[in-house]
Structure 1
Amino acid sequence: MNKELATYPFPYSKAALLDSRIKIPRPIIDPALAPIVDSCLLPEDLDLDFMRGVSAGEDNEAFVYNADTVIKSAPHLDHTEHSVPGPDGNAVILSVFAPREPTTAALPALYHIHGGGMVAGDRFTAVCELLDVLKGIECVIVSVEYRLAPETRAPGPAEDCYAGLVWASENAASLGIEPAAIVVWGVSGGGALAAAMCLMARDRNSPAIPIMGQMLLSPMLDDRCDSVSDQQFEYGSPWCGVSNRMAWAHVIGEDRGTDKITPYQSPSRAEDLSNLPPTYIDAAECEVFRDPAVLYAMKMWRCGSTCELHVWPGAFHLFDGMDNATVPLIHAAIVAKQTWLGRMIQPTRIDS
């Protein structure tokens, strides 16, 4: 790093007791998760150099993400790279990880949109952790490299993801993918892009074969940042209200929070959530994204779409990024994702 950033001065699990700025009641961190969340204190202010350094694994080789590290952790996969036309004359790079010995010529696919607040990360970010969730589920992973904010404002990153999805669907046969069995997976900032992309696909009737499902995991859905959970976790949280607003300001610019924002920029702005693919949404109880995620699920139900919703009690943002069988809450969250994915994907494999 080129500069030192002040990290949060208190253990997150004790923030409500020690931080005098926290004035309203809020749920407490599960004691089993407290040592995990307290082991990595982060700055409140969002700094792009810091974010992009962390995402690149700058300080820890164990968190370096690239094609080689993915294949090393999953030697049964092959990696291919594809450059597809983007929305602004740019190239959108897709990394495809497919089984070397597939059991059928056309497998289900997971379209992966990485996290990082839409300001950091790349197409390899957290793919190794994703492989843990996919144990026992045979599929192709397609991971998209979208342009980051603030260099590219919304909806540019979502349009990149959409361009990659349409290309993958139209070229499914050459990729070994069943086009009717593509599930979109978006984490945190990637959850915003996944939701926006699914709205685009619905509105544009493309790809021609509809998306099978979408998974929005601790999704960053609302630029207004004014929900109860935003207020509860304004301070003393790994991704707090301060950093969340700063990230949204990078993503949208000076119009953040105004009535100028479209659902393709901030999915919570959508009033019509009808005719969307079956959806899995989860969030942690102790994070800013909790209430926008719950409200998004409620709006889906009101509009006639179907959604499975989980709010994990006493959990913090991305608490289940890596499975831990010794912590029941983490393992339960991983199993819930596996179960939903298996339920979605398995019927397409009857003949395999």
Structure 2
Amino acid sequence: MAKQPAAYPFPYSKAAQLDSRINIARPVIDQTLAPIVDAYPLPEELDLDFMHGVTAKEDNEAFVCTNAQSIIKSVPHLKHTEHFIPGCGGNRIVLSVIAPQAPTSATLPALYRIHGGGMIAGDRFAGLTELLDLLKCIECVEYRLAPENRAPGPADDCYAGLVWMSEKATSLGIDPAGIVVWGVPSGAALAAVLCLMVRDRKAPAIPIKAQMFISPMLDDRCQSVSDRQFEYGSPWCGVSDCMAWAHVTGEGRGSDEVSLYQAPSRAKDLSDLPPAYIDTAECEVFRDHAVLYAPKMLRCGSTCELHIWPDAFHLFDGVDNLDVPLIHAAIEARQTWVRRMMQPIGIDGDSNLLL
């Protein structure tokens, strides 16, 4: 069993006062959120053995079993199907399609979900449950992980899955013009790269409907103000982020060797992209990555809705909580945007999810 490295020793909500390494002013976590973030301290330094042990479900007490069976059991109106397709490098990619047992239409819009985990951990079922409240069904892809498979390998897997989905849309019950790409942290980076690949390769022929980034991990250089503010004393801090990017990009991290298909913040031209929703917390390392990406999209003529949630921490809104207005407001804003993106193409309550 992988041994868990030492957790951060201070409450995150009090890190600025207690951690002597923090010598730059930064926003303070909202006191209504403090009990949530302080309850789960994480290690600063990434331990691949531990993270891969969690991913591999190796008798790890910290692992909560989430798979297709456990998810579908809670939502009996949905069905799950696995598909195995060839990847760009001859590897095999697995996709899960979660769809209605009784769809309202022969072709439904689809949410193409890319999981998080820093591109070094996680699988297509991680963090999926909360999305089932947003849509009646979903489709998701599982990609190869770093450091064994460095960028752009994970993005190539996601691209192959998207092309396959678009080509097989009719048999899958999907409207190929109604695909929304969704990603959380590292999944958001892959979603952004995926949209750039689709634009530059001009395939699939039918454009992606929209793209959604939640706390996006966009920049391997890790030199923004928020990178410095939250280098320490934050869930997924700057130390973790730099280590993850080094696993993803190799020794070239932070140099001119990194391309836009490895780290999407490297893209200079963000024109002709699908409408975007970018969502980040004020008290997290990824804040300025998102803040810089959104206006670049606007300057290039693409459209973007940007949310920065005040006094909130990384992935603060993973589970809805009506007792915490900020969490509920963030989830409601996300739901409203997705429904608006899908409504014009005739959605009537159902959609598909690819993982």
Aligned partners of 1:148 and 1:157 also within 8 Å? yes
Tell me how far apart the structure 2 counterparts of residues 117 and 296 of structure 1 sit (CA, whole Å): 19
Letter in 1 for 2:85: V
Aligned partners of 2:109 and 2:347 also within 8 Å? no
Corresponding residue of 1:115: 116
The answer to whether the aligner puts 1:49 opposite 2:49 as a matched pair is: yes
Deviations 1:295-343 (A, max 9, x none): 0001000100000000001111111111111111110110011000010
Letter in 2 for 1:131: L
Aligned partners of 1:46 and 1:247 also within 8 Å? yes
CA apart distance, 1:126: 1.0
Letter in 1 for 2:94: I
Worse overlay, 43-52 or 342-351? 342-351
Letter in 2 for 1:187: V
Q: Which has the higher contact order (CA 8 A, sep 6+)?
A: 2
The answer to whether the aligner puts 1:154 opposite 2:156 as a matched pair is: no
CA apart distance, 1:186: 0.4
Tell me how far apart the structure 2 counterparts of residues 280 and 55 of structure 1 sit (CA, whole Å): 28
- Seen in structure 2, the aligned counterparts of structure 1 residues 119 and 128 have a Cα distance that, compared at 3 Å, is same
Q: Secondary structure at the match of 1:110?
A: strand
Pick aligned residue for 1:320 from 297, 317, 320: 317
Aligned partners of 1:73 and 1:128 also within 8 Å? no
Corresponding residue of 1:330: 327
Aligned pairs, number? 347
Corresponding residue of 1:18: 18
Q: Secondary structure at the match of 1:173?
A: helix
Corresponding residue of 1:190: 187
**Equivalent residues in 2 for 1:238-317 (5 A)?**
238-317=235-314
CA apart distance, 1:49: 2.5
Letter in 2 for 1:16: A
Aligned partners of 2:4 and 2:50 also within 8 Å? no
Corresponding residue of 1:2: 2
Worse overlay, 298-307 or 49-58? 49-58
Corresponding residue of 1:106: 107
Tell me how far apart the structure 2 counterparts of residues 330 and 268 of structure 1 sit (CA, whole Å): 27
Pick aligned residue for 1:213 from 207, 210, 215: 210
Tell me how far apart the structure 2 counterparts of residues 350 and 86 of structure 1 sit (CA, whole Å): 31
The answer to whether the aligner puts 1:234 opposite 2:236 as a matched pair is: no
Corresponding residue of 2:95: 94
Aligned partners of 1:233 and 1:240 also within 8 Å? yes
Tell me how far apart the structure 1 counterparts of residues 90 and 4 of structure 2 sit (CA, whole Å): 38
Letter in 1 for 2:124: R
Deviations 1:138-171 (A, max 9, x none): 4x41110100000100000000000000100110
Letter in 1 for 2:52: R
Deviations 1:217-241 (A, max 9, x none): 1010000000000000000001000
Q: Secondary structure at the match of 1:315?
A: strand
Corresponding residue of 1:168: 165
- Seen in structure 2, the aligned counterparts of structure 1 residues 105 and 246 have a Cα distance that, compared at 3 Å, is same
Corresponding residue of 2:72: 71
Tell me how far apart the structure 1 counterparts of residues 95 and 2 of structure 2 sit (CA, whole Å): 31
Tell me how far apart the structure 1 counterparts of residues 226 and 347 of structure 2 sit (CA, whole Å): 43
- Seen in structure 2, the aligned counterparts of structure 1 residues 4 and 83 have a Cα distance that, compared at 3 Å, is closer
CA apart distance, 1:73: 2.1
- Seen in structure 2, the aligned counterparts of structure 1 residues 141 and 350 have a Cα distance that, compared at 3 Å, is closer
- Seen in structure 2, the aligned counterparts of structure 1 residues 84 and 34 have a Cα distance that, compared at 3 Å, is same
CA apart distance, 1:53: 3.9
Q: Secondary structure at the match of 1:314?
A: strand
Detail structure 1 runs of 4+ shifted over 6 Å in the superposition: none
Tell me how far apart the structure 2 counterparts of residues 50 and 65 of structure 1 sit (CA, whole Å): 18
CA apart distance, 1:56: 5.9
Give the TM-score, by structure 2 length.
0.95
The answer to whether the aligner puts 1:225 opposite 2:222 as a matched pair is: yes
CA apart distance, 1:105: 0.6
The sequence identity of aligned pairs, in percent, is 70
Aligned partners of 2:2 and 2:53 also within 8 Å? no
Give the TM-score, by structure 1 length.
0.96
Aligned partners of 2:276 and 2:305 also within 8 Å? yes
Q: CA RMSD in A?
A: 1.4
CA apart distance, 1:2: 3.0
Q: Secondary structure at the match of 1:165?
A: helix
Tell me how far apart the structure 1 counterparts of residues 347 and 82 of structure 2 sit (CA, whole Å): 29
Worse overlay, 233-242 or 47-56? 47-56
Aligned partners of 1:56 and 1:121 also within 8 Å? no
Q: Secondary structure at the match of 1:93?
A: strand
Worse overlay, 22-31 or 1-10? 1-10
CA apart distance, 1:351: 8.0
Q: Secondary structure at the match of 2:313?
A: coil
Corresponding residue of 2:353: none
